[in-house]
Amino acid sequence: MMRRKSVLVAVIAAVLLAVATGGTALGSSATTSRAASAAAPTAGCGKTPTLRSGTHSIQSGGQTRSFILRIPDNYTNTNPYRLIFGFHWLNGTANDVDSGGSSGFTWSYYGLRQLANNTAIFVAPQGLNNGWANSGGRDLTFVDDMIRLIEADLCVDTTQRFAGGFSYGGGMSYALACARATVFRAVAVYSGAQLSGCSGGTQPIAYIGLHGLRDNVLNISQGRSLRDTFVRNNGCTPQNPPEPAQGSLTHVVTAYSGCRSGYPVVWAAFDGGHTPGPVDGSTAEDGARTWTKAVVWNFFNQFQSTNDTTPPTSPGTPAVSNVTATSATLTWTASTDQGGSGLAGYNVYREQGATDPQLGQSATNSITLTGLTAGTQYQVYVRARDGAGNLSADSASATFTTTSTGGDTTPPTAPGGLAASGTTANGTTLSWAASTDDVGVAGYDILRAPGATGGAFAQVGTSATTSYSDTGLNPSTTYRYQVRARDAAGNLSPVSDTVQVTTSGTTTGTCSATPTVQSQWGGGYVIQPLTVTNTSTSTITSWTVTFTLPAGHTLTGSWNATVTTNGQTVTARSVSHNGTLAPGAGTTSFGFQASRPSGDTTLPSGYTCTGA
């Protein structure tokens, strides 16, 4: 996974403008059917390539720009490959996308490089000032220039270009969807907003958006707005797709109906914050475990050229581990695919007579089978599938027997001694005495309810230990907590006693707010950063900045603060990750964007800051 710091500073500053592209654009005004395109190879097919995997420089728009290129290990110059761009977040880098950060290869290019398994060429461009402001369309031109360079030297299928990015990189991917809809086959926007412009924005393109309900950097409403642009363009039936409940720590993926053939729209909402790598049932961000990479890969992988009739190689013999009464984990040596459509995943079957039932599917070379019958022998095998629907030969079989439950219907005892400590304005730490169970305690569920009375308890997290830290709470607010234990058979204990917590209130501190004009144009401007500095002698845990917009000016976007307006007065309050400042420390993460009447050059004034 990317460094936690990088996620938290992935706050966006960009100019909302109608992008005018520089140079000759690759896009065309023609709209063509994408339902089943034959592979369109590039001039690089058949050539001995001069490009190698690694960092490259290119002249674009009068500037030296750079990008990282990853060519398949088994590259052959007669096979047209997919071309996939991965855009970094604000203050991220091309290297962050290419390396996968702390999760390494499993999260390289948002996890797609692992799933592509040497069937795609990957590109990680480097943004100017580590961002994608796209001023004057310069970043669109940069993408055009990279495509020309790569496709003149390497064998690329021009019907199979894709782009994706997180946060500011999501804004850049959206800009490509607007301006290069006939160049790119599909885009994936992770927690994005309209930040890099939308030149055009009227043609259809396959679109998947992913966004967290509790995103306090770019509100989910901004992601919904991007999605709805292509719901309209693609002719999909409008709807309000289902989204998970807050506190559920789950995700819901919805494919819109009624879309034009070849132009699907998918919306993936999850109960989480500003991250591209959420994990169900957890507040963690983990590129190795997140569900988003398989969802995006499957979305991209559905688009195939029609000339692939070569099946993948057979998977290796499954190795069986972690066998319980109802589940087992299988792992096997990955298949390879040389047909050009890419390895799409694996089907797992049980040998059971004339017709073998399918037990599950996986996008990777492992799966945990669930819902098995206790005390039962299973003989299983695996088949790989590619994007064109070709299936490999069967793997060798593996045999295992699920354990007996022993009639385990006994729940654990209730956790005891629930207590809270270290309560601040925004968080608290819970601890309790361990439960006991006749087989073993598997973990604990943490439940929270608002207020001293009333309000339903909802699960807000899990813990494998006897403690849990709950963060992101509101100052001067009362909460109630309970904890319950669960065992491996799924039995739940009674809930613990209830503990009540009231977060600390606000006390006036001193701080300063210094605005920086990042960019401005005829009809608007961006203030980024608006630096908040703690000028007191003690640590503050939150800050509030107020300022006045000139008459006729309207706030059109903000990031890294909770912002409200009352007439022309704007109030911006810190969010969980940037409110705590030591004496003399500052944060440069807050920013906003506003529109103004054409010809008006005035800017906001009267900045004040109070800390708590």
Q: How high is the pLDDT of residue 505? A: 59
- Among 161, 148, 87, 94, CA closest to 121: 161
pLDDT at residue 383, as a whole number: 93
Query: Lowest-confidence range among 13-27, 513-527, 590-604?
Result: 13-27
Q: What is the DSSP string of 193-247?
A: -S-S--SS--S--EEEEEEETT-SSS-HHHHHHHHHHHHHHTTPPP-----PPTT
Give 400-445 pLDDT, tens digit per residue: 998 876 667 788 999 999 999 988 777 889 999 999 988 888 888 8
pLDDT of residue 18: 31
Nearest to 336 by CA among 42, 68, 75: 75
Confidence of residue 35 (pLDDT cuts 50, 70, 90): very low
Tokens linked to 501: 């917590």
What pLDDT, on a 0 to 100 scale, did the predictor assign at position 477? 78
Q: Which pLDDT score, from 0 to 100, does residue 306 have? A: 55
pLDDT at 41 over 80: no
Instruction: Assign 270 to helix, strand or coil.
Output: strand
The length of the chain is 612
Give the pLDDT band (50/70/90) at residue 4.
Answer: very low
Residue 210 has pLDDT above 80, yes or no: yes
Q: What is the C-alpha to C-alpha distance for residues 78 and 500, in angstroms, rounded to an integer?
A: 67
| pLDDT mean over 555-581 | 81
CA atoms of 119 and 74, how far apart (whole Å): 9
Torsion of CA 202, 204, 210, 214, to 10 degrees: 30
Q: How confident is the model at residue 589 (pLDDT cuts 50, 70, 90)?
A: low
Please tell me the predicted confidence (pLDDT) of residue 385. Answer: 80
pLDDT tens for 118-135 read: 899 999 999 999 999 999
Q: pLDDT category, 137, cuts 50, 70, 90?
A: very high
- Max alpha carbon distance in the chain (Å)? 79
Phi-psi region of 288 (alpha: psi -120 to 50; beta: other; left: phi over 0): alpha
Q: What is the pLDDT of residue 21?
A: 31
Strands 377-386 and 343-350: antiparallel
Residue 333 pLDDT greater than 50, yes or no: yes
Q: What average pLDDT does the structure give for the chain?
A: 84
Answer yes or no: is pLDDT of 320 > 60: yes
Q: Report, as an integer, the average pLDDT of 337-357.
A: 77
| pLDDT at residue number 295 | 92
**C-alpha distances out from residue 112 to 10, 124, 148, 297, 324, Å:** 20, 12, 23, 6, 31
Burial class (CB in 10 A: 0-12, 13-18, 19+), 320: middle
Beta strands in 473-548 (DSSP E): 478-487, 499-502, 509-521, 524-534, 543-548
- The pLDDT assigned to 584 comes to 83
Least confident stretch, 8-17, 72-81, 147-156, 298-307: 8-17
Going from the C-alpha of 290 to that of each of 56, 284, 333, 456, 556, the distances in angstroms are: 30, 9, 21, 29, 32
pLDDT of 326 reads 78
